[in-house]
Amino acid sequence: MKIAFACDPLDGFKIYKDTTYAMMSEAARRGHAIHVFQHKDMAFEAGKVIANVARVTLTGDDKDWYRMEAPVAQELTAFDAILERTDPPFNMEYIYATYLLELAEKQGARIFNKPEAIRSFNEKLAIAQFPQYIAPTLVTSDAARIRAFHQVHGDIILKPLDGMGGAGIFRVMNDALNLGSIIETLTENGRQTIMVQRYIPEITQGDKRILLIGGEVVPYCLARIPQGTEIRGNLAVGGVGVAREISARDREIAVALGPILLKRGLLLVGLDAIGDYMTELNVTSPTCFQEIRQQTGFDVAAMFVDALEKHAETWN
């Protein structure tokens, strides 16, 4: 197969933990040809979606790990699979990229995850489609509604809908200390919609990343455990990742959602859970492949490339 990765610049990869690198390495090991491009390399020209795409060879050297050929303008339909692996933020440029990818898809390109599905599944708000699996949740820009929610639940989490890496997350306990200021800041005085959830005390045991690949559940999750006085388990803010077998409740949620999400065009999903509740559905560039493999021996990248090979010919 000719596989093209829409990803961030390779010189910024930390290959000891990067999931996109793990995908590339496994695909290359099987003899697939690896290519890369960035969102900014795409264009709609003469009725076709094209991109300046570069062939990449992996060297096996941990430091000098790739060789890249000169980019060549190619139609995206020239590839057997295109993997969208660009990290958030999911801003307007990212959305424009999904529009171009969707046009390419209509011309015959096979894109994982599907561009329309990436747009439709806001990584915070998508959980509202499955209310039976989530903690009490409010989505609003209305300060009065947020205050009323706090009155009912006492201990709450407030967060922006477009955040990443734990940015902008606040906890307000029963004393309501700084609630007004936090509401004003996050909602921009009522102009920005946010999410509010009842605090889940099991966060001390980890914010669990559960992976769904081709509708199937990876048997291990990565529990990202907050450190010190921090309430966030995100690895980006110092959380420690501990791989463990998924719980019966986590499996119940994942097994129920896996086929639904695959049918909607999501080959790879990072389902986040705290305690018995789902908290996010990550669809842009889910991670944690390498941490799980390093700690358990389970080869997540192999499972992913298996699924890619299985679905590539029939994806559209």
Catalytic residue among 85, 110, 208, 224: 224
Catalytic residue among 232, 234, 250, 291: 232
Catalytic residue status for 282: yes
Catalytic residue status for 306: no
- Rounded to whole angstroms, how far apart are CA atoms 14 and 25? 13
Residue 286 is predicted with a pLDDT of 96
At 315, phi and psi to the nearest 5?
-60, -40
Catalytic residue among 26, 123, 272, 291: 272
Catalytic residue among 18, 123, 250, 280: 280
Helix segments in 107-187, DSSP class H: 115-120, 143-153, 179-187
At 91, phi and psi to the nearest 5?
-100, -170
pTM of the model: 0.95
Residue 164 is predicted with a pLDDT of 81
Nearest alpha carbon to residue 57 among 32, 80, 83: 32
Catalytic residue status for 232: yes
- Rounded to whole angstroms, how far apart are CA atoms 194 and 187? 6
Catalytic residue status for 224: yes
- Rounded to whole angstroms, how far apart are CA atoms 110 and 99? 14
Six token digits for residue 116: 């329309």
Helix (H, G, I), strand (E, B) or coil at 27: helix
Residue 31 is predicted with a pLDDT of 98
Catalytic residue among 124, 198, 207, 234: 124
Q: Give the type of residue at 84.
A: E
Helix (H), strand (E) at residue 192: none
pLDDT digit string (tens) for the chain, length 316 residues: 999 999 999 999 999 999 999 999 999 999 999 999 999 999 999 999 999 999 999 999 999 999 999 999 999 999 999 999 999 989 999 999 999 999 999 999 999 999 999 999 999 999 999 999 999 999 999 999 999 999 999 999 999 998 888 889 999 999 999 999 999 999 999 999 999 999 999 999 999 999 999 999 999 999 999 998 888 888 888 899 999 999 999 999 999 999 999 999 999 999 999 999 999 999 999 999 999 999 999 999 999 999 999 999 899 8
Catalytic residue status for 122: no
What count of residues does the chain have? 316
Six token digits for residue 132: 């039976």
Q: Which residues contact 303 (CB under 8 A, 6 or more apart)?
A: 213, 216, 218
Catalytic residue among 209, 234, 250, 291: 209
Helix segments in the chain, DSSP class H: 19-29, 92-106, 115-120, 143-153, 179-187, 248-263, 289-296, 300-311
Catalytic residue status for 145: no
Nearest alpha carbon to residue 212 among 293, 286, 124: 286
Nearest alpha carbon to residue 203 among 166, 252, 257: 166
At 206, phi and psi to the nearest 5?
120, 145
Catalytic residue among 159, 198, 207, 291: 159
Nearest alpha carbon to residue 122 among 85, 166, 156, 91: 91
